[in-house]
């Protein structure tokens, strides 16, 4: 449709002696803010210089040259400097609905990633620590980005790169030797590990902690065995949470996996003359790229996470031959990743430019301050989930007092996930955001449950209309709300593509909300069952349901038929 408009304009402009390239015309075509202004618009401001004329005059002249609108157009009008194209909306609506109902869960796919592979690293919690809200963002955003990539046709490898190596394990080992007990560890591993960590995390123990980490890196049997136990118990705990969040990984990796490769990386760096000694430590100087200095090995001979990230990137590229690798990690690590990517490039790995750090901002508390984690004020993921779930339960019971226990569990779980996921994803990922639990959990207004609710209402209509016979769906005169809804539905594919290009799920989250909002308006002003246009409206409701389902799916949110 757009192509046709471009051709029309191209011809008109040619006749006026203002020949303009197709690309140039396309660049200017836009969608008007309101459907009353048409379906496509062409602003003439940019031609003013070339034609030395008032933009409104130009618009009128172009309109004149176009003459009678071709078949697919209902009308072509001018409004100031704009030429507005009105399409045959009835036909358009019917075709779109047909397409959606035919393509179903595939509606909106661009298939740009066929045959290509993307590695997404996300979540990546630290072993031996509770899964706090700090890792929630990476988990939710990474999950959504994985889904968006898959939707666009890529094959995606989801990696959970556990923080399971580093100096803090020296502290943990020391703490366990000094204050730990096997019994408490079995009983409540995470809590116990957190306790001993806090006790050992003091200046007087620093030296001993370092020694324990060195032992670990050198493969000391006792250290290794304990560490393995910690890792195993933590993983079990994390898996509980991932199950609740409905999130899966293809690979559980970790920083500990790269001990051997790291030696190779060090050797390679040295051979390429990139390593320098500085105060007993090994560094790569990146000052000429404005990236400071990257520390590769500490003066005591142990490694750092930069070293491990280099090794893991190289290994992953060998193993997965990715066309792109995405790191969903907090924005505070921006410099770190720029350094790692630069070093990879300097090592001669051309694929370094396919690595991208997809960052996200911090969660702030309700006063707008960073969450205090040091004083043990950490907020546990499980608590948030349970709190949200019980709130959802109350709401559901109000409406459906007779519902079965199993059904109640299922529904409240879905509502809670929607509340939390949407609450996060509606924000632009790179910005900090306030994590005010009360607001987050609220079920009114711009929230996940609001969107689910509109889906459930749509489902309800379809259920009640089920017994009706089939026939031809005549559109009749389109109602303004119907036009708006159709228009919004048609935007879905481009929203997904945009979201993929920006690696930003918030575009899809906002779209989902707007779609639900328009549907609710339609719901109030356009009765479906019993109306003269029942068949058409039913198909529209069905199409809405499909698109909303696809859209929410990309956010990691499951729809429900009743709520």
Looking at beta carbons only, is 399 or 405 nearer to RNA? 399
Residues 71-110 that bind RNA (CB under 7 A): 79-80, 82, 84
Looking at beta carbons only, is 67 or 280 nearer to RNA? 280
> CA angle, 554 as apex, 550 and 557 as ends, to 5°?
85
Q: Is 467 in the site for RNA (CB under 7 A)?
A: no
Residues 107-126 that bind RNA (CB under 7 A): 126
Q: Which stretch binds RNA (CB under 7 A): 18-26, 27-35, 101-109, 320-328?
A: 27-35
Q: b/e per residue, 276-285, with b = 16+ CB within 10 A?
A: eeeeebbbbe
Beta bridge partners of 281: 278
CA atoms within 13 A on the CB side of 427: 21
Cα gap 477→480, rounded to integer Å: 10
Q: Residue holding tokens 């809405």?
A: 544
Looking at beta carbons only, is 232 or 332 nearer to RNA? 332
Q: Which stretch binds RNA (CB under 7 A): 138-146, 311-319, 340-348, 427-435?
A: 427-435
Q: Is 235 in the site for RNA (CB under 7 A)?
A: no
Q: Is 553 in the site for RNA (CB under 7 A)?
A: no
Looking at beta carbons only, is 156 or 283 nearer to RNA? 283
Residues 281-300 that bind RNA (CB under 7 A): 281, 283, 290, 292-293, 295, 298-300
The single-letter DSSP state of residue 355 is E
Looking at the chain, how many residues does it have?
Answer: 563
CA atoms within 13 A on the CB side of 516: 27
Residues 169-208 that bind RNA (CB under 7 A): none
Q: Is 140 in the site for RNA (CB under 7 A)?
A: no
Q: How far is the CB of 340 from RNA (least distance, A)?
A: 11
Q: Is 432 in the site for RNA (CB under 7 A)?
A: yes
Q: Which stretch binds RNA (CB under 7 A): 191-199, 232-240, 470-478, 517-525?
A: 517-525
Q: Which stretch binds RNA (CB under 7 A): 193-201, 226-234, 515-523, 543-551?
A: 515-523
- Could you give the dihedral angle defined by the CA atoms of residues 468, 474, 479 and 484, in that order, rounded to the nearest 10 degrees? 90
Q: List the one residue from 8, 41, 96, 540 that touches RNA (CB under 7 A).
A: 41
Q: Which stretch binds RNA (CB under 7 A): 31-39, 65-73, 144-152, 194-202?
A: 31-39
Q: List the one residue from 9, 140, 275, 304 that touches RNA (CB under 7 A).
A: 304
Q: Is 23 in the site for RNA (CB under 7 A)?
A: no
Q: How far is the CB of 284 from RNA (least distance, A)?
A: 9
Q: How far is the CB of 542 from RNA (least distance, A)?
A: 13
Q: How far is the CB of 493 from RNA (least distance, A)?
A: 14
Cα gap 448→351, rounded to integer Å: 38
Tokens of 473: 């769906």
Q: Is 473 in the site for RNA (CB under 7 A)?
A: no
Q: Is 517 in the site for RNA (CB under 7 A)?
A: yes
Tokens of 457: 């209402």
Looking at beta carbons only, is 232 or 300 nearer to RNA? 300
User: Three-state SS for 344?
Assistant: helix
Looking at beta carbons only, is 350 or 376 nearer to RNA? 376
Closest to 87 (Cα-Cα) out of 2, 170, 200: 2
Closest to 47 (Cα-Cα) out of 84, 92, 14: 14
Cα gap 251→323, rounded to integer Å: 18
Q: Which stretch binds RNA (CB under 7 A): 43-51, 129-137, 192-200, 345-353?
A: 43-51
Looking at beta carbons only, is 96 or 284 nearer to RNA? 284
Q: Is 476 in the site for RNA (CB under 7 A)?
A: no
Q: List the one residue from 457, 491, 493, 558 that touches RNA (CB under 7 A).
A: 457
Tokens of 337: 């990743």
Q: Is 521 in the site for RNA (CB under 7 A)?
A: yes
Q: Is 272 in the site for RNA (CB under 7 A)?
A: no
Q: Is 456 in the site for RNA (CB under 7 A)?
A: yes
Q: Is 257 in the site for RNA (CB under 7 A)?
A: no
CB atoms within 10 A of CB 174: 26
Largest CA distance in the chain: 89
Q: Is 433 in the site for RNA (CB under 7 A)?
A: yes
Residues 327-366 that bind RNA (CB under 7 A): 331-336, 361-362, 364
CA distances from 525 to 143, 148, 209, 468, 519 (A): 37, 34, 68, 22, 10
Cα gap 473→158, rounded to integer Å: 44
Sequence-distant (≥ 6) Cβ neighbours of residue 422 within 8 angstroms: 447, 448, 451, 509, 512, 513, 555, 557
379 phi/psi in degrees, rounded to 5: -95, 125
Size of the site for RNA (CB under 7 A): 98
Q: Which stretch binds RNA (CB under 7 A): 7-15, 87-95, 279-287, 468-476?
A: 279-287
> Mask 375-394, x = binds RNA (CB under 7 A)?
-----------------x--
Cα gap 191→380, rounded to integer Å: 11
- Could you give the dihedral angle defined by the CA atoms of residues 74, 77, 83 and 89, in that order, rounded to the nearest 10 degrees? -20
Cα gap 516→560, rounded to integer Å: 14
């Amino acid at each position: 449709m757009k192509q046709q408009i471009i051709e029309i304009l191209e011809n008109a402009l040619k006749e006026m002696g203002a020949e303009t390239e197709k690309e140039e015309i396309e660049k200017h075509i836009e969608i008007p803010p309101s459907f009353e202004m048409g379906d496509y618009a062409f602003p003439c401001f940019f031609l003013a210089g070339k034609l030395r004329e008032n933009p409104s005059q130009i618009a009128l002249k172009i309109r004149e040259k176009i003459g009678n609108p071709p078949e697919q157009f209902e009308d072509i009008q001018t409004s100031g400097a704009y030429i507005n194209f009105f399409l045959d909306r009835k036909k358009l609506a019917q075709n779109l609905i047909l397409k959606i109902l035919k393509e179903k869960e595939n509606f909106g796919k661009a298939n740009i990633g066929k045959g290509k592979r993307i590695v997404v690293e996300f979540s990546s919690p630290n072993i031996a620590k509770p899964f706090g809200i700090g890792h929630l963002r990476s988990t939710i955003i990474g999950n959504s980005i994985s889904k968006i990539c898959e939707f666009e046709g890529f094959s995606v490898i989801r990696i959970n790169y556990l923080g399971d190596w580093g100096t803090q394990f020296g502290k943990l080992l020391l703490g366990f030797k000094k204050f730990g007990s096997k019994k408490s560890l079995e009983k409540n591993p995470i809590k116990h590990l957190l306790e001993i960590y806090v006790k050992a995390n003091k200046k007087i123990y620093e030296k001993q902690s370092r020694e324990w980490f060195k032992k670990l890196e050198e493969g000391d049997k006792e250290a290794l065995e304990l560490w393995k136990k910690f890792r195993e118990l933590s993983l079990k705990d994390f898996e509980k949470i991932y199950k609740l969040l409905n999130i899966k990984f293809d690979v559980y990796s970790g920083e500990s996996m790269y001990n051997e490769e790291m030696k190779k990386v060090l050797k390679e760096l040295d051979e390429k003359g990139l390593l320098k000694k500085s105060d007993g430590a090994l560094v790569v100087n990146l000052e000429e790229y404005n990236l400071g200095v990257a520390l590769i090995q500490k003066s005591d001979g142990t490694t750092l996470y930069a070293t491990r990230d280099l090794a893991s990137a190289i290994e992953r590229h060998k193993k997965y031959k990715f066309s792109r690798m995405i790191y969903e990690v907090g924005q505070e690590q921006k410099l770190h990743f720029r350094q790692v990517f630069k070093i990879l490039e300097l090592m001669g790995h051309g694929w370094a430019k396919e690595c991208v750090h997809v960052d996200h901002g911090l969660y702030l508390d309700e006063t707008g301050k960073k969450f205090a984690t040091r004083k043990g004020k950490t907020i546990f993921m499980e608590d948030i989930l349970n709190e949200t779930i019980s709130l959802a339960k109350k709401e559901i019971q109000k409406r459906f007092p007779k519902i079965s226990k199993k059904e109640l569990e299922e529904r409240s779980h879905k509502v809670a996930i929607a509340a939390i996921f949407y609450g996060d994803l509606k924000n632009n990922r790179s910005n900090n955001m306030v994590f005010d639990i009360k607001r987050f959990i609220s079920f009114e207004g711009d929230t996940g449950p609001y969107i689910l609710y509109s889906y459930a209402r749509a489902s309800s209509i379809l259920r009640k209309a089920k017994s009706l016979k089939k026939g031809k769906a005549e559109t009749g005169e389109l109602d303004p709300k119907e036009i708006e809804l159709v228009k919004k539905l048609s935007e879905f594919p481009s929203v997904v593509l945009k979201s993929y290009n920006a690696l930003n799920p918030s575009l899809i989250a906002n779209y989902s909300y707007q779609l639900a909002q328009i549907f609710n308006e339609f719901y109030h002003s356009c009765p479906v069952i019993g109306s003269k246009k029942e068949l058409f409206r039913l198909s529209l409701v069905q199409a809405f349901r499909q698109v909303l389902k696809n859209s929410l799916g990309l956010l990691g949110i499951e729809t429900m038929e009743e709520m």
